[in-house]
Structures are given as C-alpha cells and as structure tokens.
Structure 1
C-alpha cells in the first residue's frame, strides 16, 4: 500500500501542535484549581475545631460547630421521608424539608449565622420509623439544638448583628448556599470526603500534565522552530503528516497493465469466436466454426441463383 506524505507549514503547523497542548493544559489547570479549593475547605473545617484559630475569611468554607437556636430548642432543619412497602423493600414516595436560620457556634466562640435556604442537604442517620399502617411509614432526620454539625457553603461578612460575633461588634459571619447549589449539613466530618475528592482531581491533573510533557518532547523541534520563526524571522515551522492512498495506486496499476488486442492469437490461445485452441502448426481455417461459415455461404448463393 502506497503512502503519501503531506507537509503543514507556518501558522497551520503551530496551530496544530499548540491547539493540542492547550487542550491538555486548560483542563489540567481547572482540575488543579478545584483540588486546591477543596483542600482549603478541608483545612478550614479542621481549623474551626481549634479554639485558638482566628475567625474565618469570606469565600467557600466548611465549618464545624454547635447548633444554637433562640426560640426554645425547635429543630432548625428537619427532613421527613414517606415510604411505601414494595415487596420486601421500602420505596420513597415523598420527601419534605423544613429549614430555618440558626447560629453555628465555633470552638473559638465565633458565631456564624447559617441560612440553609429552602432545600438544604442534610447528611444524617434516619430515626426510627413511624406509621399507623404496615404498608406505609415515615422516617425523620433532624438537626437539633446543641448538636455538633459540619456545614459547607459560602461564607461572607455581613452587617447583620443577629448572628454576630460579640468580639467584633456589628460584624457577623453568614454561611449560606452557594449559587445554584445546596447548603450541606452533616453530623460527621466533611474533611475526609473533601480530601479524597481533592486527591482524585489532582490525579487527573497529573495525568494530563504527563501527556502534555510527552507531546512537547515529541514535537520539540516544531516548538523551537516556531519560536525562531516568531522572534528571529527564521523559516516557518513544518509538520509532516502521512496518508494512505492504496485504492488510487491500485487503480493506477490496473489501468497501466497492458490488455490483449481483440482477435490476436498466439501459441496456446483460442481463436476469435471459437473455443478450440490454435497451435502454431494449425491454420485459422481449421476451426470448425470458421469452416461452417465459409462452407455455408457459397451453397446459399448457388441455391438462390438456381431458383431465379
């Protein structure tokens, strides 16, 4: 199979190798940034358990503290799940979430006002089932007052003094749901899950960077030529590509092969219109078809002349 060689030069060659490098570099940077942010949130959660840690700064945060309410101890977050029996299993048919703001008291005494929104995500063990019928039951998950909790959301500094830190006057920390996402509340630490996810993102970043390094080494001459072309007015970089053309070459070989002339015969070939082999010592007239053709025409002419 024949192979044709093509050459890409100038901006086309630079765009080919440069575009491939950017396609690997940009996702790697995104994975690295996400991994760094998750690690920072995990570190902030661990730091919030230390009484000597300074108050947190604004931005994405995961904090740990104790739930405080101001109206007699009603649960600030409650999830009610209705289930129906499906054979030997139970199937969820409805879920109702009730949430209202509360105060998260950190270990260092800092008060953070938590605004869970209408649909927070509560990660907690479900309580015992309750129900009047065997085919239907209800299960509850509650975030109660004085209960330790880990909250993940978006932290900002507000002038609202209702949840403010008494040591900072009117300034207050407010923890709410990030844009287009849900506030996460968990009765178990979130730092472990955050660190595992950060490790996974960092591994993806490392794989992409390794592939990028291999590509740079393979096309190092093209990169160097491109730099010289852009800076020192050197000849443009070139990139060679190969393509197969087996079908066209086969057609060319077939069209260039000589074809036997019609009617030509030689040793071991058959005469035109006759399947009998003609040897070098046999004349063309010895073919039975040729003899019949030659013998029939004179007899037909003679019979026609006599009838006239």
Structure 2
C-alpha cells in the first residue's frame, strides 16, 4: 500500500518550527507591551511619590533631602546657576532633495554660584551648588554666532520657584550676622543646602513629578503604537492562524507533479508544483493545480497519482495548504517580524530618551537650517541685564521688608 505523501509548500516553514517562529514574534510583542505597562506604572507611582516629598510649608530639618522655595541672589551676585550649550548645525538632503537639519551639541558650560531660597515659612536657605550641579530648566535663551553656530542657555532667575535636591544642614550664614553692644559679631547659624555625597545636587524649576509624568505619557503612547503594530501583525499571519485554529488534517487526492515557467521583468524561472483534488466543504470537489513545492521535495514525489496530506480550512480556501499541521509562509512571517522589530525599537527609544540636561543635546527637524536672528543672552544685553539686576534687588529688599530701590 502506497504511503500518504507529506510535503509542504515552497517557502513555508514546516511545523513544529513554524509554531516556534510565530510564537517568538508573538512573545516579543507581548513582552514589549508588558514592558511599556510596567514603565507606565512605575513612572506614575514615582510621580505620586515625588509630589508627596515636597510640602511647601513643612518645617526645615537637619538632613532634609529636598527644599523648595523662591530664588534670590546672594549679596554681590547676579548669577545663580546657568548652563550654556554650544551647537553646530548641519543640513542633509535625501534623494528627492528634501532637506532636513540637525543641531549637535559641541560644548557645555555650567556656571554655579551660591544663591538663596526663600522658603514658604519665610526662612532663607543658602544653596551652595557644585560645578557639576544638574539644572532642570528650559533652554529659553538663544544667541547666534553664525548661521550654523548658536548657543542655548538655561538660567535661574530671581523669583523663580525651584526645588533643590541635596543635603540640608545647619551652618553659619555669611549674610546673617548678630550684633552685641553695637559691634558686629560672627555670622549666625542658618540653613545651608550642599550636595549630597551620593547624588550631588539637582536644581529644578519643574515639579519633581513632571519628569515622571512625561515618561508615563511617552510610554502610554508607545504602548498604543505597539498595540496597533500588534494588530497589524495579525494581518500577514492571518492564513497561518486560520490553519492553526480552524484547520483540519485531511487526505486529498494527489494527481501528479509538473514543472512550469514564469516570466517576471524579462526573466524566466522554472517552478515545481503538484496537482491535487479535495473536498471543501464535504461534497464539493475542488482542484488546485500547480501548488508550488521546493525542488528537493519535487524530486522525491511519486510520478503517478496517490494520496497527499492537506491542512484544510473550511470556508477559507486561501488558508488551505499542503501538509499536516500549520506551516507558515516565509514572506508574511518576515513582515510580521519587521513589525515586531519596529515595536522593540520604539520601546527602546522611549526607554533611552533623555532630556537635554540628562545627556548630549541633538535636535533634528525638517527643512533647511533656520535663518540667523539677532537674539542675545540676557547677560549680554545691557538693558535687559540692568533691568534684571534692579528687579533682583527689589525682590531681595522686599523679602527683607526694606523699601525697594526705584527702577530706572
């Protein structure tokens, strides 16, 4: 008795490898979504915890990690903390002459001077930032050096509300002195904020929760995109899943094998195929001619008629394929794998994204480099600088209940 022929179509991954191949990309998508959900939950939990840390009118205490207040300049100082980033611009064009440009950071300079925080309880806290202080602020100042060179700056200004992370302790304050019998004595004890031995110092004009909120939002949209990619991935593998979930192994009639030629773009190639007859649904005879198989399988096939295994999907003839079990066609599997790869890349980029104060600043945008403007930093603009100094003195005097000087 002649054995039932078992052969799979050309460019198909045979079971059980087909199950493993599809399961792998399904698992990748599930893991990426799970990773995004975990990061969303972590970020939201961190945002809630960050909001709890700062209580505006909570009393100061030795060893406190966070202090919030309003910036005031120290005596004789007109700077607190500022970060200046130098950038060089470049233009690129694609094959369709569509332009894009990139600003790349070439240098970063940080200036840190002692300043004060006016706590909500009225107490002044002297902040002594290190040279490597991390400033979390907006790069809202710009100065052009050349059409392809510019500088950006973030700077603490008097009156800004900030949160400082470091270590608070009691120490003499050089701006707070005591007097006895008309003679000036040594500086009195006040509050000083210095860098933490483990984490240094962070100065933020944003709430501590904002960074976590932005991260949660970014991962939420990444999760949405990954979900859409997962749905799109179902399309190319639709016939495989139909064979897997709805198909049944049946014995069809093997009519014989043959070769045939196909011409594409002026090139003729030889193909190998088989002809079969089967019923789908039962009672309805169907013929499939020239079902392609690879050359090795073709050579092993018998020349005469016989029986052959078929994975039949009732009512879905497109999903019906040769063989026992569910094989998967390579091209749609590759397409699905590419979608899974895009999902992984999107999650990776979201996870590794850093704002300007966390890493090297590189900005990309469409179109040519923007035209050069006459913008200048506040410190380089005499009128703006004098106005800022006068406002700073006014705020300091007002905080000490002293009549402010008039603005000129």
What range is the shorter-chain TM-score in?
0.3 to 0.5
TM-score by length of 1: 0.44
Structure exhibiting the larger radius of gyration computed from Cα positions: 1
Higher helix share: 1
TM-score by length of 2: 0.34
